[in-house]
Structure 1
Amino acid sequence: MHATGFLSFYDRFATAPMLALITKDAGVSLYSAVQLVTVYVLLYALGQPIWGLLSDRLGRLTILRVALVGTLLGSVASVAAPGFHELLAARAVTGLFVGSLFPSMLTIVGDSFVGPARAREISSLQTYTALGTTVATLAAGALAVWVDWRVVFAVTAVGAAVFLVLLRRIRFPVGGGPHRDVRSAFTAWPLWTYGLGMLEGAILLGVLTYIVPALERDGLSTELAGVLGATYGVGIIGGAYLAKRAVARVGRTVMIAMGSTTLFVAFLLASFSQGVVALTFTAVFIGTSNAFLHSSLQGWATDVAPAARATAVSVFVCSVFLGSSAATGLTAGMTRNGYGSVFGATCAATLVLAVLAVGSHAVWSRRRTELVGASRTQV
């Protein structure tokens, strides 16, 4: 069911490449068409804590089924929408339900695996999400041109229907129930990880938005800039392959350090040069960092509040999105004369993230080990 991660990221990134065609077909301005992405992402992010709370109360499988049904209905409504406003409402509803798919799978991984095995499963899940992102970036626009933009949303509907059928044959840990303590997701360490998630989202995803525009500023066509920007997905896939083999040998704290270092190098390159080669390597390195740094922080989020794992994971994901949106809004004014200053500032912010994330995870790991050792001694 890791393919659910593919579906969620495919749908999340499929609309942007089709905006120009939807603008012409619906007879609206590009500014209006962009709202299709805005409302989708807004509902995707805001729904995260709600889904997490419900998952801890009602169980993982129940919420995953609800999310797939909602994704199916929202996608069908997107295909059948007779006008732009109906399409806007359908995309908002779809975003709300798709937003539950990836955190649900991440929580199930947290329930089902421990230690290095969990890290490897998270890396595998990231591989599928990277494939979904890459396929959406490269294929959605082509499908929209060659066939119809509604076909792109129909693919999501078919995928959700297939996964609903397959889900009948699969048994996950139920999760949820009265033994869950939702309040534990809002204690000191979980809140700290949410703050790190917000900072990481700002750096990793918020500034990633500028890679393609920077390539276009260098003179590339929109199509070629999009292809080079999509090498971010290649970086994730390659990084996930390496991360799965490294995590058992070096541990999560070192993985965070490796990912932070890779991210620093990525933005250091971009701050010195906004040429095609430098920015392509930047995109690849950001993707590689995602596989090491982001997957490690996600793994930490699954550990930090075991009695309210779904809530903690969902709030962490929401924090990453909020950080991404905040970074894009705060740095937009810095791009008037180019993107070098944005990449330079991000390079400095990456050093701050590295110190905070590596240092705090080392402290948390040591304290956790001490607590486990003390409890075994008492037994």
Structure 2
Amino acid sequence: MLDHAPETTRRSGKLWDEVPDPILRSVGFLSFFDRFATPPMLLVLAELTDLSLGQAVELVAGYALLYAVGQPVWGLISDRFGRITVLRTALVGALLGALASTLFSAYIPLLLARAFTGLMVGALYPTLLTLLGDTRTGISRAKGLSDLQIYSSLGTTIATLAAGTLAVLADWRLVFALPALGCLALLVGLRRIGPDPSRTASVEVHRAFAGAPLGVYGLAVLEGAVLMGALTYIVPALQHAGTRISLAGALAAGYGLGVIAGARLMRYLVHRFTRTRLIAIGGAVLVTAFATSSLWQAPAALTATAVLIGLSNAVLHSSMQGWATDVAPQARATTVSLFACALFLGASLATYCTSGLAEDGQYGTIFALSLALSIILTAAATAGHLAWKRRQD
């Protein structure tokens, strides 16, 4: 059965019940749709604007970078002023950033608009994780994470399937405009939510910056590099292999299907395996994913990689998220936000460092580097969690 650390502080379960589940799941859907809508249309942006492919890739990297660096601030705000305050503020900001993204096609203004949007969207999913940590433990929390992953993976899948096609058949600006409409709808849905019972005047923030949490953040950097940084290149690699963009999006959407299947599978695995073993299993799947694409860049191999990354995300990443919610419960929002910061910092660094390789079409090299990092991640995360759990016991 799933192991978890005992909590020394608990917040009221009232907050999760006050916010309707459809709204929370929709927030997860929206945040992942916005995050994954740009990669499928990188080549389209390079063709329809004055951007080079490298500059288009940097839009994704800039988004991920601001998503990452804003996390500590959002965590402190969440612990001090409450989860609903953060959700409302971030949705307003994401709406403005999405609208700004439709107004510019030059590199610098569009980069700034996407980076600002990343800063705002960055608050959404970590806040949902914090809500789960506040109100659920053990297997119940793991199942809640799986439910959120299903809806977030739907956002990923639809973005991957539709973004490139919408950009070609309609207008690339439409891809950025749709999240603005979603933000507006969610703000309307949140308008009747009362005072936030999670706000507090005293948070032990220092616990998020010492000991075990620091090790978890280091692992999150590696995880972001391989789970998210490499995922950026699935659609471009498929197009480089001669696949038309609509089909490339459909094949890369196998990632979302992998997440959904893995999230369903996790509902059974959490009853049979400890979190340490789940981390090892998810890591082994990730190693297999990149071993496939580093050897072959044929469409079938790249599709298999997308599906396996999704499956690993559901098993490995949800287990790492659960660990992040347990490692410093006295400052949970700050800890979860720093975990997300490290995750997206890793994704941003990986994307920036490999954009030149993508410009030259060296996708095999990118996936080979991801293979090496995934091996290191699996070994370090498994050993690290085992050592941490023994200390807790």
Q: Which amino acid aligns with 2:381?
A: A
Give 1:137's aligned residue: 160
**Residue number in structure 1 paired with 2:322:** 299
Query: Which residue number corresponds to residue 388 of structure 2?
Result: 364
> Match of 1:257?
280
Of 60-69 and 335-344, deviating more is: 335-344
Q: Find out whether 1:53 has 2:76 as its counterpart.
A: yes
Partner of 1:328: 351
Q: Are 2:261 and 1:244 equivalent residues in the alignment? A: no
State the Cα distance separating 1:347 from its structure 2 match.
2.9
For the residues of structure 2 that align with 1:35 and 1:345, how far apart are their CA atoms? 19
Q: Deviations along 1:266-298, whole A, 9 cap, x unmatched? A: 122223333222222121111100100011101
Structure 1 residue 329: Cα displacement:
4.0
For the residues of structure 2 that align with 1:82 and 1:282, how far apart are their CA atoms?
34
Point out where structure 1 has 5 or more consecutive residues left out of the alignment: 371-379
Tell me the residue number matched to 1:375. Answer: none
SS of 2:251's equivalent in the other structure is helix
Aligned partners of 2:356 and 2:144: how far apart in 1? 39
Distance 1:333 1:292, change over 3 A: same
How far, CA to CA, are the matches of 1:316 and 1:69 in structure 2? Answer: 23
SS at match of 2:288: helix
2:132 is equivalent to residue 109 of structure 1: yes
Q: Deviations over 1:66-111 (max 9, x none)?
A: 11121223233444x2764655543333222111111111111111
Q: Does structure 1 residue 346 correspond to structure 2 residue 370?
A: yes
Counterpart of 1:252 in structure 2: which amino acid? Answer: R
- Higher RCO (CA 8 Å, separation ≥ 6 residues): 2
Deviation at 1:190, TM superposition (A): 0.3
Map of 1:373 onto structure 2: none
Matched, 1:175 2:198: yes
Q: Deviation of residue 65 (structure 1)?
A: 1.1
- Stretches of structure 2 lacking an aligned partner (at least 5 in a row): 1-23
Q: Which amino acid in the other structure matches residue 127 of structure 2?
A: S
TM-aligned CA deviation for residue 165 of structure 1:
2.1
Q: Which residue is 2:145 aligned to?
A: 122
Residue 69 (1) aligns with residue 124 (2): no
Q: TM-score, normalised by structure 1?
A: 0.87
Q: What secondary structure is seen at the aligned counterpart in 2 of 1:248?
A: coil
Match of 1:311 among 334, 339, 344: 334
Aligned to 2:14: none
> Does the Cα contact within 8 Å between 2:164 and 2:246 map onto a contact in 1?
no
**2-structure distance, mates of 1:271, 1:83:** 34
Preserved CA contact (<8 Å) 1:61 1:174:
no
Question: What residue identity is the alignment partner of 2:326?
Answer: D
**Identical aligned residues as a percent:** 53
1:239–1:288: 8 Å Cα contact kept in structure 2? yes
Q: What CA distance in whole angstroms lies between the structure 2 residues aligned with 1:25 and 1:333? A: 21
Which among 219, 222, 231 is matched to residue 242 of structure 2? 219
Q: Give the partner amino acid of 1:211.
A: I
Change (3 A) 1:72 1:240: same
Structure with greater helix percent: 1
Cα 1:156–1:329 shift into 2, 3 Å:
closer
Q: Answer with 50-59 or 323-332: which moved more.
A: 323-332
Query: What whole-Å deviation, never above 9, does each CA across 1:136-159 have from its counterpart, x for those lacking one?
Result: 122123333444333333321221
Counterpart contact for 1:179–1:307, Cα < 8 Å: no
What are the within-5 Å matches in structure 2 for residues 77-96 of structure 1?
77-79=100-102, 81=103, 84=106, 87-96=110-119
Q: Give deviations 1:303-329, integer Å, cap 9, x for gaps.
A: 111111111111111111121233334
Which residue identity does 1:154 align to in structure 2? A
**Is the 1:270–1:343 Cα contact (8 Å) retained in structure 2?**
yes
Larger CA deviation: 82-91 vs 301-310? 82-91
Distance 1:148 1:185 in 2: 44
Change (3 A) 1:65 1:329: closer
Q: Give the deviation of 1:40 after TM superposition.
A: 2.6
User: Which structure: larger Rg?
Assistant: 1
- Aligned counterpart for 2:230 among listed residues 184, 207, 221: 207
Structure 2: how far apart are the matches of 1:33 and 1:331? 13
CA distance in 2 between counterparts of 1:122 and 1:158 reads 26
Q: CA deviation at 1:331?
A: 4.8
- Which residue identity does 1:160 align to in structure 2? C
**TM-aligned CA distance change 1:323 to 1:146, over 3 Å:** same
Counterpart residue type for residue 237 of structure 1: I
Normalization by structure 2: what TM-score? Answer: 0.84
1:234 equivalent to 2:257? Answer yes
Alignment partner of 1:249: what SS?
coil
Q: Work out the CA distance in 2 between the residues paired with 1:166 and 1:185.
A: 32
What is the alpha-carbon distance in structure 2 between the residues aligned to residue 176 and residue 218 of structure 1? 51
Code of the aligned partner of 2:383: G
Which residue of 31, 40, 58 maps to 1:8? 31
What is the identity, as a one-letter code, of the residue corresponding to 1:57? R
- Which amino acid is the alignment partner of residue 289 of structure 1? S
Cα deviation 1:325-361 (Å, max 9, x = unaligned): 3333445666768444443443343232222211221
- SS in structure 2 at match of 1:177: coil
Contact 2:85 / 2:196 at 8 angstroms: preserved in 1?
no
Deviates more, 1:254-263 or 1:216-225: 216-225
Aligned length: 368
In the TM superposition, what are the counterparts of 1:7-46 in structure 2 within 5 Å?
7-18=30-41, 36-46=59-69
| Paired amino acid for 2:391 | R
Instruction: Measure the CA separation in 1 of the matches of 2:104 and 2:230.
Output: 35
